[in-house]
Structures are given as C-alpha cells and as structure tokens.
A = this chain, B = another copy of it.
Amino acid sequence: MSMRVGVLGIGKTPHKIQHEKSLKDLGVEAGRKAMADAGVDPSEIQMLYVGNVGSVGFNYENSTALMAAHHLGVVPAGAVRVEAACGTGAWALHLGCVAIASGLYDTVMVLGMEKMNDLATVEGTSIIAQAADSKEEYFSGLTFPSGTALTARKYMQAYGVSEEDLAHTSVKNHFYGARNPSAHLRFECTVEEVMNSPKVADPLKLYEVCPMTDAASALVLCREEILRAQPNRPQVYVTATSMASGTWYQASDTLDDAYNLFHRPATRAYEMAGVTAKDIDVAEIYNSFAIQEPLGIEGLGFAKMGQGWKGAKDGSTWLDGKIAVNPSGGLLCKGHPLGATGATQAVDIVEQLRGTAPEGMQRADAEIGISACRGGPGSVGAIHIYQRLEG
C-alpha cells in the first residue's frame, strides 16, 4: 500500500540545556514555528500527537499533550501523548501519518518534546532507566549505558572490530555537529580524543554517548492534495512509515535482534515507498550511543552485518559519500531529548529534501531520505521514508 503524506510545515527549538524555558515553552515554540512554516492557523489542526517520555519524572507533569493543545491554541483538536521509550517521537510521526492516510483528517500536528535538565543527571538517568524493565534489569544494575556496552562488546568480538575502528563514528558525527546551529555539542574531535574521553561503561566512552538535552520539534502533516495545491511550497512527502517491536531484555539481546529491529520494518518501508536502500541519499539514524549507528546502517541495508562502522572511516557515510548518514551530527551532537528525537530526525531530513539544511550539512540534490529511530532495550524500530516529489 502506497502512502503520500504531505509535510506542510516543520519547526524545532535549539537542542541544548534550557533552564530558562519550561517543557510547555519548548513545545509551544516548536509547534508555532511549524504552523508558521506551514501557513496554517491553530484552528486548522485537527489532531495533535505529542511524543513525550519522561515528564512525570522530569517535570512533575503527566498529560502534556492536553497542556500543549491548550497553549498552542489547537483546542478542540484531539490531543494525545504517545510514549514508546526512545522511539517516542517517531511513533508520534507514525500516528500522524496513519491519521492522514485513514482519510479521517486533513491536517494534523506531530510534536515531540522533552525537558531533561530540570533535574540532576543522576536523577535523569534513573528516569530513563524506567524505559526498560526496571524491576528485572535496572534494579540489577543493567542500565542503558551498561546494556549498550554489552552490545558494543558483542559487536567487536563477532566482527573483529577495535575501539579505534568504532571511534570514527563519533569523529564523523562531531564534524557535522560542529556545523549544526541547532546542536547541543558543537565541537570537532579526533579519534585520539574519542579514545581518551572518560569511560562511561567500558568500552563506551564519553564522546560515544549523547548528552541530556532540552528540545522540541514539530511537523504539520496534511493530505497530499493540500500540499499539491500549493506548488510554491517544497513538495516533500512521507512515503513510508513502518514500526516494529523487538526484545524487552537487554541481557539476552543478540546482534541478530539488533539487526532485525531495523531490518524488518525497513523492508516493509522500502516496499511501501517503492524504493531500495541504494536509492536513499540521506539518513538520520538513531545513535544515542555511537555503536547504534553501524548497527542501524546494517539493519537498513546500507552495509553488510559487521561492516556498518567502515563508512565513517572510509568516507562513504560522510556528506558526499555513497550515503550521507547523520549529517546533522546525530544524537551524539544534537543530544537525545527523548520524545523529541524522532521528530527532530524527521525535521532534519525534510530540511535536506527542501535543500535548506545549514551550510556544511546539506547533501547535494537530496531527493530521498530516511529516518530510523529505536527505543527501549531493543524494543522499538521505527522507519520513515521521505521523498521530494514535484507534481
């Protein structure tokens, strides 16, 4: 089944620590930017899908979609918060796309938002750990950093890859993050600097881990006809949305599981969009930890299993390589504002297809993009394909 969901507008806040703003402020800022970009009035929004993971813990608020609907002025549009661990923002996007595809709605908003820095980092880490099985894993010491460290070890052992080999992924991300005015961490680094950065959970080092970030991103989606009727606007469409669940326990997670988490939904997504992995110009791939980028590259079919790390070293996943992977700097530099991340990936890809990405980040003549988000202990795989389709 084919899909053409128009991207009418996009908006995002800076991705950084923002003590001066509340979660509400961030959501309203991104949502208003997206409506302004779309040229729509709040009264035209029929549904609001808010991705937000941890507001109960971070901000002592729960029903943040209802709060956002009020402050964005989109009442009486239906409003709901969705949560699927770190795949949350991508899930909000999925629900927005399905709503448009159903024919029940003309124009909807997808808003991802998270404010993680109201608390100390150690408290935030505890809140994040609730996105896995707190009782059977977190309370036993298996957190996301330690669980992902196990994955990195498995990868290194299975494929004979060294820590230095993996460090190139951080070098590539930071090269572009330094050029991204919206990014949280804006500095370049070398393999040596990655290797010498403090250990977080062996073999993961600080420059291989995303920071705690406050941000929101939003998209206004519409029926194809509505965007077609405005030919002066960039003709960017979501042409595939595909979701999968996966493993719930990190302890027993295998490399095959990690591969399938993206491979299964990506296979469906390529079929839905009528494209292949070779057709993709630019990709935003989830990398809250650097090791997840090669795993994603492999699951999406851009490299064979065990080969996904090589592009960051040989250049083939840099901006002018075979495929540009994370020209935004990825989560490693943008940070990972949990509920926002999937929406930010989408906004960044839309900018690429519009040709409006910041200087030094724009893939030349990008026509087809993909975003791949994951979440939980290997529990969420979320793929979206975007295409510039002139009428």
What CA separation (Å) do A53 and B64 show in the bound complex?
A: 12
A84 touches B65 (CB 8 A): yes
What CA separation (Å) do A104 and B238 show in the bound complex?
A: 15
Given A85-B62, A243-B78, residue A70 in contact with residue B248 (CB < 8 A): yes
Interface residues of A in 230-276 (CB under 8 A from B): 243-249, 260, 264-265
A278 at the interface (CB under 8 A from B): no
Q: Which residues of B contact A247 (CB under 8 A)?
A: 70, 75
A320 at the interface (CB under 8 A from B): no
Minimum Cβ distance to chain B for residue A51 (Å): 10
Q: Which residues of B contact A71 (CB under 8 A)?
A: 248
Q: Which residues of B contact A57 (CB under 8 A)?
A: 56
B83 touches A1 (CB 8 A): no
Q: Which residues of B contact A91 (CB under 8 A)?
A: 80
Minimum Cβ distance to chain B for residue A224 (Å): 14
B79 touches A63 (CB 8 A): no
Given A83-B62, A245-B66, residue A103 in contact with residue B104 (CB < 8 A): no
A130 touches B380 (CB 8 A): no
Q: Which residues of B contact A63 (CB under 8 A)?
A: 83-85, 130-132, 375-376, 379
A168 at the interface (CB under 8 A from B): no
What copy number does this chain have within its complex?
Answer: 2
From B61, B65, B245, contact of A74 by CB (8 A):
B245
Q: Which residues of B contact A104 (CB under 8 A)?
A: 1, 3, 98, 101
Interface residues of A in 6-43 (CB under 8 A from B): none
Given A80-B91, A83-B81, residue A66 in contact with residue B98 (CB < 8 A): no
Q: Which residues of B contact A67 (CB under 8 A)?
A: 133, 248
Minimum Cβ distance to chain B for residue A182 (Å): 26
A131 touches B1 (CB 8 A): no
From B60, B94, B131, B260, contact of A135 by CB (8 A):
B60
Minimum Cβ distance to chain B for residue A380 (Å): 7
Chain B residue at minimum C-beta to C-beta distance from A51: B80
A290 at the interface (CB under 8 A from B): no
Given A63-B375, A98-B98, residue A81 in contact with residue B78 (CB < 8 A): no
13 more contacts with CB within 8 A, not counting A78-B265, A95-B95, are A53-B62, A60-B135, A62-B83, A62-B85, A62-B134, A63-B85, A63-B130, A66-B131, A66-B376, A67-B133, A70-B248, A74-B245, A78-B245
